[in-house]
């Protein structure tokens, strides 16, 4: 059976991609953020996952407001990137894991999740950036499975529902007849709001409490409704749903390999965690 080695979480601000493209990792503004990935990269070099399941939110590249699925699963042979208008260089396509994709889709449907199956799928910076951050020299997993969660257009799925989704994905992966090692990635957040009267909003105490909960009490955030999470984290801060799903997909207890929290990066509370499956 496949082995789930753990989970990774990170912010995915488009400006990060610009900084990578311009070689600004050691610039004083960016250094505290990029330096936070060192221990996680060392752990990944040791564990060498073969496949990454990426929980992310699309920003209009693949889905727009006229068609916005709550949950969409990639089932493509390759996943292509495209110009999003942020000035981030496009990247080469990523290979999919068709066998695992269909294993996840079948299991989710059996668990009464109504998912959108995407046999062609564009992936934006929210999916590609974590791969570049954790594996800057492109030495990472050879295959990916994208799992897109709507955090753009209301109604949004609840924290409780995203935890259930993550658990079901983890069940599917654990039952996959393969000797491959799989890592779960949650992409987004933390607290930030990009528009309106609260533009620039950051809630450091809540962010740190949330990060701690992923180790000690991974269902802690389920006590809050979506509107309460928006209040506490900002309209874009609800991207923490991806962190919840990725953590839930790692069964049992976890050990913190490393974490980093830095504010602000482009008016966003930028965090990352690497959690090893116990």
Active-site residue 258, yes or no? no
Alpha helices in the chain (DSSP H): 14-21, 31-34, 38-47, 98-110, 125-134, 159-174, 204-216, 226-233, 240-248
User: How many angstroms separate the CA atoms of 173 and 161, rounded?
Assistant: 19
Which residues, listed in sequence order, are joined to residue 94 by a DSSP beta bridge? 79
- Residue showing tokens 């060392």: 42
Q: Which of 12, 59, 107, 192 is catalytic?
A: 192
For residues 92-117, one letter each, b for 16 or more C-beta atoms within 10 angstroms of the residue's C-beta and e for the rest, the string is eebebbeebbebbbebbeeeebebbb
- Catalytic one of 59, 125, 258, 262: 125
E strand intervals along 121-218: 143-149, 181-187
Specify the length of the chain in residues.
Answer: 278
User: Closest by alpha carbon to 57, among 140, 144, 153, 138?
Assistant: 153
**125 given a catalytic annotation:** yes
With H, G, I as helix, E, B as strand and everything else as coil, classify residue 158: coil
Q: Which residues are catalytic?
A: 125, 192
């Amino acid at each position: 059976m496949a082995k789930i080695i753990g989970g990774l979480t990170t912010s995915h601000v488009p400006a990060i991609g610009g900084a990578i493209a311009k070689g600004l990792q050691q610039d004083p503004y960016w250094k505290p953020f990029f330096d936070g990935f060192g221990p996680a990269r060392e752990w990944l070099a040791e564990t060498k996952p073969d496949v990454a399941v990426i929980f992310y939110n699309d920003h209009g590249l693949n889905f727009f407001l006229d068609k916005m699925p709550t949950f969409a699963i990639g089932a493509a042979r390759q996943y292509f990137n495209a110009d999003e208008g942020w000035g981030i260089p496009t990247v080469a396509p990523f290979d999919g894991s068709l066998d695992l994709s269909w294993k996840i889709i079948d299991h989710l449907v059996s668990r009464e999740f109504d998912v959108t199956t995407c046999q062609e799928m564009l992936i934006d910076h929210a999916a590609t950036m974590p791969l570049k951050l954790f594996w800057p020299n492109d030495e990472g997993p050879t295959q990916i499975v994208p799992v897109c969660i709507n955090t753009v257009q209301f109604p949004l799925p609840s924290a409780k529902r995203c935890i259930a989704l993550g658990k079901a994905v983890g069940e599917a992966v654990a039952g996959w007849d393969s000797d491959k090692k799989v890592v779960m990635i949650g992409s987004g957040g933390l607290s930030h709001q990009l528009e309106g009267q609260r533009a620039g909003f950051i809630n450091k105490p809540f962010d740190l409490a949330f990060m701690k909960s992923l180790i000690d009490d991974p269902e802690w955030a389920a006590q809050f409704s979506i509107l309460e999470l928006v209040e506490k984290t900002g309209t874009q801060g609800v991207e923490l749903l991806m962190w919840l799903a990725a953590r839930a997909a790692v069964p049992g207890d976890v050990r913190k390999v490393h974490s980093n929290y830095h504010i602000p990066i482009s008016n966003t509370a930028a965090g990352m965690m690497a959690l090893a499956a116990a």
